[in-house]
Amino acid sequence: MKLDEFFVTGEPLVYGGMVSIVLVTSAVIFLLTYFKRWGWLWREWLTTVDHKKIGIMYILSALAMLFRGGMDALMMRIQLAFPNMNFLNAQHYDEIFTTHGTIMIIFMAMPFLIGLMNIIVPLQIGARDFAFPFVNALSFWSFFFGAMLFNISFVIGGSPDAGWTSYTPLSGAAMSPGPGQNFYLMGLQLSGIGTLATGINLMVTILKMRAPGMKLFKMPIFTWSTLVTCFIIIFAFPILTVALALLTIDRIFGSQFFTVTGEGMPMMWANLFWMWGHPEVYIVILPAFGIFSEVIATFARKRLFGYHAMVWSMILIAGLSFLVWVHHFFTMGAGAFVNSVFSVSTMLIAVPTGVKIFNWLATLYKSKIEFTTPMMWSLAFIPSFVLGGVTGVMLGMAAADYQFHNSYFLIAHFHYVLIAGTVFACFAGLEYWYPKMFGHKLNERIGKLAFWFFVIGFHVTFFPQYFVGLDGMPRRVFYIIPEWMPLNVISTVGAFGMGVGFAIFVFNIYYSYRNSEREKTGDSWDGRTLEWATPTPVPFYNFATVPHADKYDAFLDMKEKGETTFEEEKLEPIHMPSNTGQPIIMMAIAAFASFALIFEWITLAVIGLVGVLIMMGIRSFDYDEGYHVEVDEIKRIEREARGL
């Protein structure tokens, strides 16, 4: 392979990307060397097994991915603003909508939420870490390297260009030769392993490590949403694993699963993909529901209305999520009966979702709402999400779907649920729990400015797309006709509004780091659940003494009784896991093997695979049992943190 085949050449935008990658990397290396921070980076972050630090790394990566996916989106909006634009050519446009979709779902939404779960769930249930801290680090690095692998494709080898759904036969070896599609397959495969491991890890954590007295139906609602999400992950992700593996074997080893020669079945890909893909959208929306429930209850200063109904509706949604996948391809021609069945099951989902909407409204009813930034995101979520949900029911009607299918109406629908649901929740959750992570709040004024830019920009972007879709504009076209121009111009303006909102949000992180008042109590918002019971910043062992949590809203109860998580007479040595470099090394080797497989360098891939197996063997012989934090040490840390 020649060098000019290895690197992508001939695109000024891609050259710009290369230059910025080189510049940013050199700047990071220079800064780390100049401030002598390499050892710190390795000891404190790269080898950590602390769920809070891993969560922060997840969220930082997700923000970076939001930036990347957002840049893709802006480039698409520029190309679509006017008829006959030549900003992107057809090939480049195909690549960009593919990476935009894949990155936003797999490498932005999921890691952002998993990051929040990482930090908050153990704190909410009174645990000192995950059930398997080592596996947690492994999960993070598998996601991280998977994301890097996918992202590097646009400068090395070429981006995938068959859409985020990667339908066969288009994505097969015959019609998409070269490494591009392999980047998609291996990037998702590598990070998918981590997601599955996180699902198992969190499920065991929640089932086995709750504070004494905390029954399942006493758990905070965000923890419940995490548990239900884990259930979906465990039953959905293996399907993706298999689908990706089959397509990989097709492309690299010449099998015939999805080919049109050899009697393969290209339509089977659509089925397998959406049997994972539909549950996947609930993987990214249920935790969002959990976040909104926490935020709304906190700032309405009321107990969450209909807690049991909230939990059961999530369980119902999780079950139904596996029974609706055909609605993504009604037009593929499964027949009237099959389409009717899936049409009905699709519309059924609106029922438990509606229950949740009404419960949030009832929580707000007659409450004294505090308009903090996280609350603003939550309040904006309810009507926006309803718009997305109602158009979802429209799309769910199989007969009507023949009109809406593949149009901008669909684009508008799923952006309304994914942005108004998931992205708003990510921002709400980050701002809500920010003081717990970093010891200071984000500035409220700047936060609200970012909120207004983003929310108004969001509606300006996507509301017109419903109409341009009904006017017949199909998705995935790179030229528009003059009739569609006015609405598309509005859309593009809105997209830049969202971009400005995001920029302000990121600036706020820097601004607040410099200027915000430091937290002293650890209970920044007068919270109700156990994560607020710890001092801020949270000691690495979380709870000096684990509280007894037999009431719903356990921390509220503790505050009434005057209890804390530092009861000196009950202190015992705390057992903690040791840091280890094995996860990052193992996953770096796995990424090397995947990279070799992407370019079909089989020998190198085998060498990498053997390397991964050796790392697993080393892990098997590793009998490090962690260490104990002694009582005196705990006393010293707690007194300092609590200012006693």
Partner 1 sequence: MSAHELKSGPLEYRTQEGRMSILGFWIFLAAEVVLFSTLFATYAVLYGRTADAPVPGELFEPGIVLVMTFLLLTSSFTCGIAIHHMRRGSVKGLMTWLIITLILGLGFLGFEIYEFVHYSHEGATLQSSAFWSAFYTLAGTHGVHVTLGIGWAVLLLIQLAKRGLTTVTSRKVFIISLYWHFLDVIWIFIFTSVYLIGMVV
In degrees and rounded to multiples of 5, residue 480 shows phi and psi of -110, 160
Query: Are the C-beta atoms of residues 203 and 230 closer than 8 Å to each other?
Result: yes
Rounded Cα distance, 413 and 165, in Å: 17
Q: Does 239 bind partner 1 (CB under 8 A)?
A: yes
Query: Are the C-beta atoms of residues 374 and 448 closer than 8 Å to each other?
Result: no
- CB nearer to partner 1: give 86 or 620: 620
Q: Does 216 bind partner 1 (CB under 8 A)?
A: no
Rounded Cα distance, 547 and 531, in Å: 11
- CB nearer to partner 1: give 273 or 525: 273
Query: Are the C-beta atoms of residues 366 and 301 closer than 8 Å to each other?
Result: no
- CB nearer to partner 1: give 265 or 382: 265
> Which of 74, 85, 156, 234 touches partner 1 (CB under 8 A)?
234
Query: Are the C-beta atoms of residues 587 and 146 closer than 8 Å to each other?
Result: no
> Which of 21, 252, 255, 341 touches partner 1 (CB under 8 A)?
255
Q: Does 229 bind partner 1 (CB under 8 A)?
A: no
Burial degree of 514 (CB within 10 A; 0-12, 13-18, 19+): exposed
**259 to 298: interface string for partner 1, x by CB under 8 A:** x-xxxxx--x---x--x-----------------------
> Which of 121, 188, 190, 196 touches partner 1 (CB under 8 A)?
196
Q: Binders of partner 1 among 90-149, rule CB under 8 A?
A: 128-129, 131-132
Cβ 609 to partner 1 shortest distance, Å: 11
Burial degree of 293 (CB within 10 A; 0-12, 13-18, 19+): buried
- CB nearer to partner 1: give 238 or 474: 238
User: Quick one: which of 541, 524, 556, 434 has its CA closest to 123?
Assistant: 541
Burial degree of 431 (CB within 10 A; 0-12, 13-18, 19+): buried
Max CA distance (Å), the chain: 76
- CB nearer to partner 1: give 83 or 617: 617
Q: Does 602 bind partner 1 (CB under 8 A)?
A: no
Cβ 135 to partner 1 shortest distance, Å: 8
Q: Does 576 bind partner 1 (CB under 8 A)?
A: yes
Cβ 210 to partner 1 shortest distance, Å: 12
User: Quick one: which of 289, 206, 274 has its CA closest to 240?
Assistant: 274
> Which of 23, 175, 207, 399 touches partner 1 (CB under 8 A)?
207
Rounded Cα distance, 186 and 163, in Å: 15
For residue 537, cis peptide bond before it (omega within 30 degrees of 0): yes
Q: Does 204 bind partner 1 (CB under 8 A)?
A: yes
Which uninterrupted H or E stretch holds 574? strand 574-576
What is the CA angle 564-568-574, rounded to 5?
95
Cβ 192 to partner 1 shortest distance, Å: 11
Cβ 577 to partner 1 shortest distance, Å: 8
Cβ 107 to partner 1 shortest distance, Å: 21
Residues that bind partner 1 (CB under 8 A): 128-129, 131-132, 196, 199-201, 203-204, 207-209, 234-239, 241-243, 245-246, 249-250, 253-257, 259, 261-265, 268, 272, 275, 574-577, 613, 617, 620-621, 623, 626, 628
